[in-house]
C-alpha cells in the first residue's frame, strides 16, 4: 500500500502540481490510445481516448473517488500524521469538481441552443438569460447530459460520474438526431 501511495502521491500535492501531473499522465495515455486505434484497430477506453479529452475532469473524479481516496483513508487509519495527504486529495477533488461543473454548464448551454424545447423562442433575450441564472442557484439545478453514450451527473455531492446510458436515453437521443436532419 505504501508503494502504491508513493506512486499516486501527485494527487496529494498542491493543485498546480497535481493538475500538471494528471495532464502529463493523460498525454501518455493518449499516445497509448492512439497506438491501440491505429495498430490494433481498437477503440480505446475513455482515459486513453484523445477524442474524449474533454471528459478528463469527470475521469479524474472517478480516479480519486475509486482509487486514491480509499487508499489514503486506509493509510490514515495506520498513521494519523498522513492527514495532510488526504486533505490535499480533497482540495484537488474540489478543483476537478469545479472543472467538471464548468464543462457541464458549457455543454448544457450549447446543447440547449441546438435543441430548443418545442414552442420555445430560439433566441432568448438577455433578460431571460439573467432570469434563468437568478431563478435557482446552479447547485440546485439537475445536470444530466448525454455525452458519447454516458450521462454525467454533477448534482451528486460526490461529483460528476459517468453512468451508462439507458435504452430510453438512446431512443430520445436518436429521435433528437433524426429531427436535426
Residue pLDDT, tens place only, 89-147: 999 999 999 999 998 888 787 777 776 666 655 555 444 443 343 343 444 433 333 33
CB 151 within 8 A of CB 163: yes
Residue pLDDT, tens place only, 58-73: 999 999 999 999 999 9
Cα separation, 124 vs 181, whole angstroms? 23
What percent of the chain lies above the pLDDT cut of 90? 54
> In this predicted structure, what is the pLDDT of residue 100?
93
> Where are the domains positioned within the chain?
1-110
Cα separation, 4 vs 130, whole angstroms? 48
Asked if residue 140 belongs to a known ligand binding site, the reply is no
What DSSP state is assigned to residue 45?
Answer: P
Comparing CA positions, the residue from 92, 91, 31 lying closest to residue 57 is 92
pTM surpassing 0.85? no
The model's confidence at residue 160, banded by pLDDT at 50, 70 and 90, is very low
Provide φ and ψ at 143, rounded to 5°. -130, 105
Helix (H, G, I), strand (E, B) or coil at 152: strand
Amino acid at each position: 500500500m505504501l508503494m502504491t501511495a508513493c506512486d499516486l502521491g501527485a494527487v496529494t500535492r498542491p493543485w498546480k502540481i497535481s493538475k500538471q501531473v494528471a495532464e502529463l499522465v493523460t498525454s501518455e495515455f493518449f499516445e497509448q490510445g492512439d497506438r491501440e486505434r491505429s495498430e490494433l484497430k481498437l477503440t480505446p477506453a475513455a482515459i486513453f481516448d484523445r477524442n474524449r479529452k474533454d471528459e478528463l475532469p469527470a475521469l479524474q473524479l472517478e480516479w480519486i473517488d475509486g482509487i486514491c481516496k480509499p487508499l489514503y483513508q486506509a493509510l490514515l487509519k495506520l498513521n494519523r500524521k498522513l492527514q495532510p495527504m488526504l486533505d490535499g486529495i480533497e482540495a484537488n477533488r474540489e478543483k476537478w469538481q469545479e472543472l467538471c461543473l464548468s464543462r457541464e454548464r458549457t455543454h448544457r448551454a450549447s446543447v440547449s441552443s441546438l435543441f430548443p424545447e418545442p414552442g420555445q423562442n430560439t433566441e432568448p433575450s438577455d433578460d431571460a438569460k439573467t432570469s434563468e441564472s437568478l431563478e435557482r442557484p446552479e447547485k440546485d439545478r439537475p445536470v444530466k447530459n448525454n455525452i458519447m453514450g454516458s450521462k454525467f451527473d454533477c448534482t451528486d455531492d460526490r461529483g460528476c460520474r459517468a453512468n451508462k446510458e439507458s435504452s430510453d436515453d438512446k431512443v430520445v437521443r436518436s429521435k433528437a438526431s433524426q429531427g436535426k436532419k
